Structure 1
Amino acid sequence: MPSRSASAVTGDTPAIVLSYDVHTAWLNTAAMRRLGVAKDRTDLPFGTAAVDPETGEPTGFVKVFAIKGLSRDGHRALRELGVPWASPDRQYGRLAKSLDDAIGFGITTVVEPQDSLDDLELYERARAEGRLRSRIVAALFHPRGTTEEELDAFAAAARMYAGDRLRVGPLKLYIDDVVEPRTAALLEPYTGCGAHRGETFYPAEEFAELLAGLDARGFQCFVHATGDRGIRTVLDAVEHARTVNGPRDARHQVVHVECLDPADVPRFAALGVVACMQPRHCAPEIAGPGQDWAENVGEDRWHKAWPMRSLAEADAVPAFSSDWNVAEMDPMIGIYTAVTRRPLDGGAPWQPAETVDVATAVYGYTMGSAYANFLEADRGSLTVGKAADFVVLSRDILAVAPDRIPGTVAETVVVAGEVVHRAGRPDPL
């Protein structure tokens, strides 16, 4: 929404509208004025303001909000500028509601992939108030420019929060952005965009040295990568780290794996890299024909889209998740999409050659995800000696037709042998 159109609706009230994936923001004129966006000030603590190519004036469109706006510094800047969305109470409210939703969907371990040290007190508050019924794995955000002192603080936090209910430790990095606004890094140009193929946030050599340094310190890295060039840059960096440091059971993750070149499929298993994917993202009504993702990539590259079956057949470890709140949190919707590649209304599938069977999809949400987070010894399967974390579903999703998987309800949810949720009981037990 251009700022002029937004201003016609909102007047002098500052307004920020976030895209569904939180990677882009739109500001009206009042918000640009309030947040200090100007012709000579487009590199902002919370994003990068786009400008009109003819006038150089900001349009109200702000890119890379998820990287800069959700960083520790970006969040603090928004809070200091009085943006209500960034206030601690609003932040805690979103966390508490999401934790309640997670346990209602039968998610017994939640992986929160991008936190700052400031956020850890929110989890402490949730634990004190009895809202932390799921177990938590929290990854700390490592934006470009993170210092050695900050890495020391991350390591200290990992030592402090090392319990089975709240564990801190992995680091979240970005190598590229997203396909929809053409900010992911592709091997070949975007369709209809001349030579533009997106950028990586680091030169390849710099990122390889960075990841090798983090690997040497024992950190596990979750790296956001959506474009085929972004993904290749991450795999190259992991290969470099193994050469420099020697192989170790690092379980670094490529997060999203949206557009993957076939030549890089076998490298996941060969390098011990986990494919952390969100099946719902590849639904036709989100990414398929007629949508920004498919149109930007172009039909000749659609075969690269979320290649779940190819990765599984190449022995890569799949770790499936929702990317809440970008897509629905309910694992049943993710499983349905992985199995059918159809819209929720049952329309035509998109790229059905990359569907997986129900057992593989369930594995991605259970043992695959447990393995991805070094938790396979006590979670991920109903096995003697493991923690009694399990869910009783309203139907057997391994036996019903795929179109009956959505709507399956978590009737009883158990964590560490304790019943923490029953369907029809909206209040915490």
Structure 2
Amino acid sequence: MKKFFWLALLPAVMLSCGSAPELTEQADTIFFNADIYTVDTLNPTAEAIALKGGRILAVGKEADVMAYRGDSTVMEDLNGQFLMPGFIEGHGHFSGLGYSLINLNFLNSKSWEEIVAEVAAAAEGAAPGEWIIGRGWHQEKWSQVPERSVLGYPYHDELSAVSPNNPVMLRHASGHSLFANAKAMELAGVSAETPNPTGGEVVRDSRGEAIGVFEERAMNLINAAYDEYREGLSEEEKAKEWFRAVELAEEECLRKGITSFQDAGTKYFEADRYTQLAEAGELDLRLWSMLRHSYEEMKGNLEGFPILDKGNHFYTCRAIKSEVDGALGAFGAWLLRAYNDKKGFTGQNTTPIPEVKNIASLAMEHGMQMCVHAIGDRANRVVLNIYEEQMKAHPEQAGLRWRIEHAQHLDTTDIPRFRELGVIASMQGIHCTSDAPFVEKRLGEARSRLGAYPWRSLLDEGVIIANGTDAPVEDVDPLASFYASVTRKRADTGLEFFPEQRMTRAEAIHSYTLGNAYAGFEEGFKGSLQPGKAADLVVLSKNLLKCSDEEILEAAVLITMVDGKVKYRAE
């Protein structure tokens, strides 16, 4: 028996010795002479990485990885450049990002005059009755307050004068208010008698006249008129525009090192299209999305959900999105105590709480994650209460990884509850420094210092933070958000916002890679550079762990690779 045993093992012994090189898999691509950060705690740094069939074959010392080199292996000498897992956008609006690249974009506008001038130019080339659409303005970020204004918002007069025959709808950067000209308000039937809807406000002057700004649910008045206009467009025209927007969003993300995108608000028709694109191999980056509809629209209509790993892990829809409040910049964040600069006003509860509870029940019933937009401290407390209630009612459901989207302003007593309930804080680093000039004006010093974007407090509690930009609310650039996360400084003015709450470099990278993957139940497939995981990576001109703060903003994306294929390479 022993003789037979050893004879049986002999071929294996021979193969493990002299024949080993012949058995080694040959890589499709090897990156070498590289400065690699893997986000793998057991093997954090490496010199080379081998890829095959869209997966990581090996990562480690260059001499070891070179064993996977074959005659057809593409060899990429990085000359010491920094390689890390591809950035995962943890909360954005994918088609919305694309539309922002088609329509007027005011993210960098410094004054109301600039915006009026851009609308005037657009109106000159617009067809009669065509709507002029834009997004990105923020009254708190202009160099000066318009001469005639209410709460910093200008009157519509100048906008109406340059576009008298074309309705204009310009969304606030936050997406939680909009500006309309006289033509748009006329089509929407807005008058002095138009009441404020529940969860929204038509901003008026002291005489009761609408100045053109519509906050939160009041936006639906203008949206309805715009939707009626779009009903006149053919389905082919609308589909063509949507596919163009998705194409532009892909290009923008890949150019900025993003290999996966978590879409915070997907409609049924979009989920269908994304699934088809993924299965046809026509998506250039991975999408993970949250279904966004009312309870009545989803009740009885979730057959086939969650959608998992379609097209070789290129599309997943395993979450449901809702919201309970608006944005701080538009006075929509729902607060425990009143705004410092809007006395007696505590913000807006934009979605009735019973509706949110019903949607949470649907998520629990169908095994989907619940993701709720909450910005103010009251909003966050209410969502935590809803989650706790659901979890107590379903003790058999563990490890839900339910999320709060934004979690910007927290009462300090609620911070430990994130850990206790296993709730993920899906926050956006760039929001902190973008909002910094007006946060204290809205909340006062104490609330701002203790509970505004409290990353350090959450991390010290052991809470998982998922990072992102909320694009097109902000530029989708992960490097700008990373800089904000580790410095809490504005890149333009140097304004520093309570730096004691900043992240370390390693924590910020984790929040943009493995943290986001974990927040979508995908940490076993992507988010770190380990054998068997997706070959999704980015090569940068600066080492984000070691370079100076200023050099973070100078870093260039050199290569973006998804599924082992180079999707972007800097010229």
Q: Same fold (TM over 0.5)?
A: yes
The change in CA–CA distance for 1:345 and 1:59 in structure 2 (over 3 A counts) is closer
Aligned to 1:262: 412
Q: 1:18·1:24 contact (CA, 8 Å) conserved in 2?
A: yes
Aligned to 1:353: 500
Provide the C-alpha distance between the structure 2 equivalents of 1:74 and 1:365, rounded to a whole number of angstroms.
Answer: 39
Superposed CA deviations along residues 335-385 of structure 1, whole A, max 9, x for unmatched, are 111000111136141110101111000000001000000000110100112
Aligned to 1:92: 243
Aligned to 1:172: 321
Superposed CA deviations along residues 39-83 of structure 1, whole A, max 9, x for unmatched, are 4555789x9560536655543212226985999x89854622779
Provide the C-alpha distance between the structure 2 equivalents of 1:269 and 1:80, rounded to a whole number of angstroms.
Answer: 46
Could you say what the CA RMSD is over the residues aligned between the two structures, in angstroms? 3.0
Aligned to 1:103: 254
2:444 aligned residue (282, 295, 298): 298
Which one is further off, 293-302 or 260-269?
293-302
The change in CA–CA distance for 1:51 and 1:63 in structure 2 (over 3 A counts) is closer
Q: 2:526·2:534 contact (CA, 8 Å) conserved in 1?
A: yes
Provide the C-alpha distance between the structure 1 equivalents of 2:474 and 2:521, rounded to a whole number of angstroms.
Answer: 25
Aligned to 1:197: 346
User: 1:60 is aligned with what amino acid?
Assistant: G
User: 2:164 is aligned with what amino acid?
Assistant: G
User: 2:350 is aligned with what amino acid?
Assistant: F
User: 1:243 is aligned with what amino acid?
Assistant: K
Provide the C-alpha distance between the structure 2 equivalents of 1:15 and 1:387, rounded to a whole number of angstroms.
Answer: 44
Provide the C-alpha distance between the structure 2 equivalents of 1:66 and 1:340, rounded to a whole number of angstroms.
Answer: 36
SS of residue matched to 1:243: helix
1:116 aligned residue (246, 258, 267): 267
Aligned to 2:188: 35
Provide the C-alpha distance between the structure 2 equivalents of 1:187 and 1:421, rounded to a whole number of angstroms.
Answer: 46
Provide the C-alpha distance between the structure 2 equivalents of 1:68 and 1:181, rounded to a whole number of angstroms.
Answer: 15
Structure holding more strand per residue: 2
Which structure 1 residue ranges, 4+ long, deviate > 6 Å from structure 2?
none
Q: 2:185·2:222 contact (CA, 8 Å) conserved in 1?
A: no
TM-score normalised to structure 2 length: 0.66
Q: Which has the larger radius of gyration?
A: 2
The answer as to 2:528 corresponding to 1:388 is: no
User: How many residue pairs align between the two structures?
Assistant: 413
User: 2:405 is aligned with what amino acid?
Assistant: V
The change in CA–CA distance for 1:49 and 1:354 in structure 2 (over 3 A counts) is closer
Aligned to 1:236: 385
Provide the C-alpha distance between the structure 1 equivalents of 2:219 and 2:164, rounded to a whole number of angstroms.
Answer: 29
Superposed CA deviations along residues 271-312 of structure 1, whole A, max 9, x for unmatched, are 0110101000111xx2224x2x33112222111110111111
1:278 aligned residue (416, 423, 428): 428
TM-score normalised to structure 1 length: 0.87
Which one is further off, 205-214 or 124-133?
124-133
Provide the C-alpha distance between the structure 2 equivalents of 1:384 and 1:75, rounded to a whole number of angstroms.
Answer: 50
The change in CA–CA distance for 1:161 and 1:155 in structure 2 (over 3 A counts) is farther
- Give ranges in structure 1 of 5+ residues lacking alignment: 425-429
2:301 aligned residue (153, 158, 171): 153
User: 2:444 is aligned with what amino acid?
Assistant: G
Provide the C-alpha distance between the structure 1 equivalents of 2:208 and 2:540, rounded to a whole number of angstroms.
Answer: 56
Q: 2:404·2:426 contact (CA, 8 Å) conserved in 1?
A: yes
The answer as to 2:212 corresponding to 1:64 is: no
Which one is further off, 252-261 or 346-355?
346-355
The answer as to 2:25 corresponding to 1:25 is: no
Provide the C-alpha distance between the structure 1 equivalents of 2:273 and 2:193, rounded to a whole number of angstroms.
Answer: 36
Equivalent pairs: percent with the same residue?
Answer: 28
User: 1:32 is aligned with what amino acid?
Assistant: M
Counterparts of 1:307-326 in structure 2, within 5 Å, are 307-326=454-473
Superposed CA deviations along residues 85-135 of structure 1, whole A, max 9, x for unmatched, are x94443433322111111111211111111111223553676599762110
Provide the C-alpha distance between the structure 1 equivalents of 2:332 and 2:177, rounded to a whole number of angstroms.
Answer: 10
SS of residue matched to 1:242: helix
Aligned to 1:140: 291
